Structure 1
Amino acid sequence: MENLENQIERNNGILMKTFQGHTDWVFCLAVLDNNTFISGSDDKTIKLWNIDKGISSKTFQGHKQWVKCLAVLDNNSFIIGSNDETIKLWNIDKGISTKTFQGHTDCVNCLAVLDNNTFISGSLDKTIKLWNIDKGISTKTFQGHTYWVNCLAVLDNNTFISGSDDKTIKLWNIDKGISTKTFEGHTHYVICLAVLDNNTFISGSDDKTIKLWNIDKGISTKTFQGHTSWVNCLASLDNNTFISGSDDKTIKLWNIDKGISSKTFQGHKQWVKCLAVLDNNSFIIGSNDETIKLWHIC
């Protein structure tokens, strides 16, 4: 990462680069390869970024309202969910939307890919939908949450978890179309999820905490405290380390065994809304300050 823009040390981390171009909140991020990522914003656009050059090389426009979530299908296609209640499939080389998925009756809040022809979406309409990409239709609707669905994470090709404003996390069986387990423990909205292994995941909440969960036991085995506002995003670095971003404007690096935050990264002027891992030593962060920042762990 030589010749990078501004290597500013911030509380045990190095701010390597700042990407500017969006004109409103950056709500979602996804990595395509080790030099390319995409971002979605409340400015209704998606941008493709070149990390080495530090610039946006392409802008995708087509949604009528805010872009809230995205997921990569392969190195030339991705899906986007929006406040306009639709999901769009985009071709990167062509720079166009090739398909629109309709069925939700409120904002599409979260997406997760199951395989190259199937994905799931969660919405403010309280439902989760399973989609077939080739057919362009929803093949199943999962109902059970009593308030907005905020986040999704895939465990395997027949199982996923969802977090909701109803303060719960649900485990779902795709073939059966039902929730097989409900995890309770957060005292406010569940905002984000990240899978650690096939029996363990973490959740972040508006209650300012992160919880570690054992799926078989159906219980929280550890609570991580340190953020002073909502926990908006989570990502695993390895089987004992994860990072979190918060409305307190910070990113924290956590040691699972010790149950503590070992580093805090500061540099954003407003809330941290999304993150994505590039490798086990670097990650990108999107914020309400309209920027994306590349951080190196030192």
Structure 2
Amino acid sequence: MNTNYLLCDFCNQNLASMAITLPCGFVVCLDHLNMKNNSFKCIVCHDHVIDFEQCLNMPKNRKNLKNFETQIYIDPVYPNNNFTELNNRIGKWNQLSYYQINLTNHPTLRLFYFEILPTGEIITATGNLINIWQINTGNVIKTYQGHSSKVHMVKMLKNGNIVSCSADLTIKIWHRETEKCLLTLTGHTDWVNCVIELPNSCICSSSDDQTIKVWDIDKQLCLMTLKGHNNYVHTIAVSGENELVSASADRTLKIWNLTTGECIRTFIGHQNWIHRFDILNNGDIISCSDDKTVKLWDKASGKCKHTFRGHNDSVLHVKIFDNREVISCCKDGNVKIWDLNTGEFIRTFVGHEPSLSGIFIVNNRQFVTSSYEHTFRIWNL
């Protein structure tokens, strides 16, 4: 469908590059549809209820979606299709081993997030608590208390302070050494899922309220609110100096200009919630979803380069390893390794039993996984 000259039947503006034909025949921009629920009332004629899955499966929409999700393999980087290097790496992954660390037991609290700090300790979000642990002893050395609900993410800022976000709708800044809360930022109207530091020392947060906010910590002020997602915004990350990538339960990823607040591009193709993503050195994006797939996206065109299929449940985490392999982690605890450049499947192994709660890349020979039960495995190649 050539949408360059057609108007949306809802907003009466030029159709976005991704247009959807409704069962009643009207054509609208996909972003106008309420994808938070699978069934919703028609936004144009208001005479019928739309089943979103059935709507996407209409022939016209299937054809339009195919133009956005080209299921092609990337040409191998190896000369003359020589897979000797790939075979060597398959052998490398077959020698994978791990060392397990069990942190002090929290019998009633689950570990939802962790990172390895530059100083070598582990920082975790467990219930409404933030802890820093010594790896060699498994003991807590710092505890930050003040959130009234589950902490979703915690990170160390460049100045050494700690930033966290929570289901209590707040973002907090903590002094690492004194464990005191220095600042509480409010403004989101639903759970805050992710918080990151921007290159200009501001911070950015995403929320179940469907927005992304940019904050000036010194002025304790929200500088900008980015709107465009139609469902929970799960994860955000900086891409380049002035761009932000976001992943949402509305089944899309978006790239934003942090100067203007404008959405530059929307990536469409996943059939269920997108949980996390990682960004390659060239700016391309790899994402994972409740639709049991991992997708590699071309940043420039917004099209899907390849879909990695093989998981049997929701894919909750995805990371690029050594810029050559993809590590994807499934809800069932299984981890799959894929070759980034060819799409070849390399290996499956059990990350944690019964469940895996996070993954962190240490270097091109090591990565760390965690379970909800505070078990960590340091994997070595």
Same fold, TM-score > 0.5, yes or no: yes
1:29 paired residue number = 114
Partner letter of residue 224 of structure 1?
F
1:79 paired residue number = 163
Partner letter of residue 123 of structure 1?
S
CA distance in 2, matches of 1:62, 1:147: 28
Q: CA RMSD in A?
A: 1.9
1:12 positional shift: 4.4
Q: Which of these residues, 297, 322, 331, is aligned with residue 247 of structure 1?
A: 331
Does the 8 Å CA contact 1:230/1:246 hold for their aligned counterparts?
yes
1:155 positional shift: 0.3
1:67 paired residue number = 151
Mean alpha-carbon deviation: is it higher for 152-161 or for 137-146?
A: 152-161
1:124 paired residue number = 208
Judged with a 3 Å threshold, the aligned counterparts in structure 2 of structure 1 residues 277 and 56 are, in CA distance, closer, same or farther, namely farther
CA distance in 1, matches of 2:348, 2:239: 29
Does the 8 Å CA contact 1:284/1:292 hold for their aligned counterparts?
no
1:16 paired residue number = 99
CA distance in 1, matches of 2:157, 2:264: 27
Does the 8 Å CA contact 1:26/1:274 hold for their aligned counterparts?
no
Which SS does the other structure have where 1:197 is aligned?
coil
2:376 paired residue number = 293
Mean alpha-carbon deviation: is it higher for 50-59 or for 221-230?
A: 50-59
CA distance in 1, matches of 2:162, 2:330: 26
Q: Which of these residues, 136, 145, 150, is aligned with residue 52 of structure 1?
A: 136
Q: How does 1:182-261 map to 2 (within 5 A)?
A: 182-261=266-345
Hey, which of these two has a bigger chunk of strand by percent? 1
1:34 positional shift: 5.7
Aligned length: 287
User: Matched residues, percent identical?
Assistant: 34
Which SS does the other structure have where 1:115 is aligned?
coil
CA distance in 2, matches of 1:34, 1:77: 13
Does the 8 Å CA contact 2:351/2:369 hold for their aligned counterparts?
no
Does the 8 Å CA contact 1:155/1:198 hold for their aligned counterparts?
no
Partner letter of residue 241 of structure 2?
N
Mean alpha-carbon deviation: is it higher for 271-280 or for 128-137?
A: 271-280
Q: Which of these residues, 166, 171, 184, is aligned with residue 250 of structure 2?
A: 166
CA distance in 2, matches of 1:239, 1:124: 31
Structure 1 residue ranges, 4+ long, deviating more than 6 angstroms after superposition? none
Judged with a 3 Å threshold, the aligned counterparts in structure 2 of structure 1 residues 248 and 11 are, in CA distance, closer, same or farther, namely farther
CA distance in 1, matches of 2:353, 2:233: 28
Partner letter of residue 130 of structure 1?
V
Q: Deviations over 1:80-135 (max 9, x none)?
A: 11000001111211122211111100000112221362121110000000011111
Which SS does the other structure have where 1:33 is aligned?
coil
Which SS does the other structure have where 1:176 is aligned?
coil
1:210 positional shift: 0.7
CA distance in 2, matches of 1:116, 1:29: 24
Work out which structure has the larger RCO, using CA pairs closer than 8 Å and 6 or more positions apart in sequence: 1
1:262 positional shift: 2.2
Mean alpha-carbon deviation: is it higher for 258-267 or for 157-166?
A: 258-267
Larger Cα-atom Rg: 2
Mean alpha-carbon deviation: is it higher for 83-92 or for 26-35?
A: 26-35
Does the 8 Å CA contact 2:167/2:190 hold for their aligned counterparts?
yes
CA distance in 1, matches of 2:347, 2:303: 27
Gaps of 5+ in 2: 1-92
CA distance in 2, matches of 1:272, 1:259: 24
Does the 8 Å CA contact 2:322/2:363 hold for their aligned counterparts?
no
Judged with a 3 Å threshold, the aligned counterparts in structure 2 of structure 1 residues 34 and 294 are, in CA distance, closer, same or farther, namely farther
CA distance in 1, matches of 2:144, 2:338: 35
Does the 8 Å CA contact 1:76/1:93 hold for their aligned counterparts?
no
1:33 positional shift: 1.7
1:144 positional shift: 0.3
1:267 positional shift: 4.6
Partner letter of residue 184 of structure 2?
T
CA distance in 2, matches of 1:198, 1:71: 25
In the superposition, the TM-score normalised over structure 1's length comes to: 0.90
CA distance in 2, matches of 1:287, 1:109: 19
CA distance in 1, matches of 2:135, 2:338: 26
Q: Deviations over 1:144-184 (max 9, x none)?
A: 00010011121023101111111011110011111111100
Partner letter of residue 154 of structure 2?
L
1:242 positional shift: 3.0
Partner letter of residue 212 of structure 1?
L
Matched, 1:272 2:272: no
Judged with a 3 Å threshold, the aligned counterparts in structure 2 of structure 1 residues 125 and 184 are, in CA distance, closer, same or farther, namely same
In the superposition, the TM-score normalised over structure 2's length comes to: 0.71
Does the 8 Å CA contact 1:251/1:272 hold for their aligned counterparts?
no
